[in-house]
């Protein structure tokens, strides 16, 4: 969903049973409602083949749509939900997310705007301005049972549980600042709605969006210092020389990474938290990448988009070693080989302390 938990914490689903109430509207509230109506009407005319600009978000056939390389990529909303434009509450603008038809209509009605709603096919027109649709107050953060249809399953609940609130996130770290230290962003609700603060960016939503995005997934389980992964290339060796245009096999020793865990990079990119096994090792996989260099002693930063070889090492390590063949070899030149050790959903490995040795290896070699 566009905002994974905003319904429960920022504003619970609207209900006509909430009863009459006085609402103080900001100067931008009415316009936000009008803009949401206009967008929802526009979305009714869109199809998966409609032209779009990369990074653009929309709703197509009640599905959340993101424009990637000039074409909409559709994501089905969860059961009972439809995609819709909603008016922002605390600032000017709109958001595009998956919600219920009733919630969509109630939020628009609460702005005082009137007009047709998004889900015409479902027969849910926006209520008139005379209807009383007031957003119910968010449930208490101390609730320990699932909210908004989540039952007692914390992983389907839309309610933030008291047991997981990190109160340290409210501290900006500037009580005794070091020279040059900047204050941290702060939050009293675990940053669950952080992506709402950058409405110019699409939600990552499991996709690799080259123009940038905002990811709402939590970091997950952080590996202990005793379980920090480490890798070392066995071949090519640092400073080594290999013949040009001939097959060779990269071999890399790995420890404290339970290899063989990788998700669909096209649909699940950064889409779930990092997890560890019973021994505390990160469940994930590795990658190797070779960058061309002007020379071995070059001090010019490389271009991360101009690598000559990249491969995900998705298999289980054999006797603690991952390997992959570079078919056809490489042309004559100088190169840098590096590892990228990752969790299952392709995010860089996360460990318990900031001061640690490199979790990855890097060697330099020549092809002659």
The closest alpha carbon to 316, from 256, 235, 250, 261, belongs to 261
Residues of the chain with CATH 2.60.40.10: 225-367
pLDDT at 9 exceeding the cut of 70: no
The 10s digit of each residue's pLDDT in 189-241 is: 999 999 999 989 999 999 999 999 999 999 999 999 999 999 999 999 999 99
Tokens of 133: 């649709």
- 3-state class of 329 per DSSP? coil
The closest alpha carbon to 93, from 212, 15, 197, belongs to 197
Q: What percent of the chain has pLDDT over 70?
A: 83
Residue 285 phi, psi (nearest 5): -160, 180
Cis peptide before 236 (omega within 30 of 0): yes
The 10s digit of each residue's pLDDT in 318-360 is: 999 999 999 999 999 999 999 999 999 999 999 999 999 999 9
The 10s digit of each residue's pLDDT in 37-58 is: 999 999 999 998 899 988 788 9
Place of tokens 């032209």: 51
Place of tokens 């702005």: 111
Per-residue pLDDT, 152:
57
- 157 vs 267 pLDDT, higher one: 267
Per the CB < 8 A criterion, the answer to whether 284 and 257 are in contact is yes
The closest alpha carbon to 354, from 226, 225, 229, belongs to 225
Query: What residues contact 64, with CB distance under 8 A and at least 6 apart?
Result: 1, 2, 57, 74, 75, 77, 83, 96, 97, 98, 205
Residue 121 phi, psi (nearest 5): -65, -25
Q: Does domain 225-367 have CATH number 2.60.40.10?
A: yes
């Amino acid at each position: 969903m566009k905002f994974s938990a905003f319904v429960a914490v920022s504003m619970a689903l609207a209900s006509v049973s909430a009863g009459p109430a006085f609402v103080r509207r900001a100067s931008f509230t009415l316009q936000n409602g009008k803009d949401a109506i206009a967008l929802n009407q526009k979305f009714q005319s869109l199809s998966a083949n409609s032209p779009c600009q990369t990074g653009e978000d929309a709703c197509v056939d009640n599905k959340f749509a993101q424009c990637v390389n000039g074409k909409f990529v559709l994501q089905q909303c969860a059961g009972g939900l439809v995609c819709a434009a909603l008016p922002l509450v605390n600032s000017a603008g709109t958001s595009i997310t998956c919600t219920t038809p009733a919630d969509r209509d109630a939020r628009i009605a609460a702005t005082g705007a009137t007009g047709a709603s998004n889900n015409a096919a479902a027969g849910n027109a926006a209520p008139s301005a005379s209807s009383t649709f007031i957003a119910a107050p968010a449930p208490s953060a101390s609730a320990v049972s699932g909210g908004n249809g989540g039952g007692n399953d914390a992983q389907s609940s839309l309610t933030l549980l008291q047991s997981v609130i990190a109160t340290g996130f409210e501290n900006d770290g500037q009580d005794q600042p070091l020279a040059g230290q900047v204050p941290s962003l702060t939050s009293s609700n675990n940053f669950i709605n952080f992506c709402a603060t950058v409405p110019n960016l699409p939600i990552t939503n499991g996709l690799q969006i080259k123009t940038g995005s905002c990811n709402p997934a939590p970091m997950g389980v952080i590996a202990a210092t005793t379980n920090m992964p480490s890798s070392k290339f066995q071949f090519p060796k640092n400073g080594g020389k290999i013949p040009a245009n001939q097959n060779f096999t990269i071999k890399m020793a790995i420890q404290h990474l339970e290899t063989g865990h990788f998700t669909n990079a096209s649909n699940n990119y950064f889409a779930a938290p990092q997890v560890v096994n019973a021994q505390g090792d990160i469940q994930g996989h590795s990658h190797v990448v070779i960058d061309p260099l002007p020379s071995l002693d070059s001090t010019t930063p490389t271009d991360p988009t101009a690598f000559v070889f990249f491969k995900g090492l998705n298999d289980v390590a054999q006797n603690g070693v991952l390997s992959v063949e570079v078919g056809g070899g490489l042309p004559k030149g100088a190169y840098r080989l590096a590892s990228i050790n990752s969790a299952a959903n392709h995010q860089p490995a996360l460990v318990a302390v900031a001061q640690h040795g490199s979790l990855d290896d890097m060697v330099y070699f020549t092809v002659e």
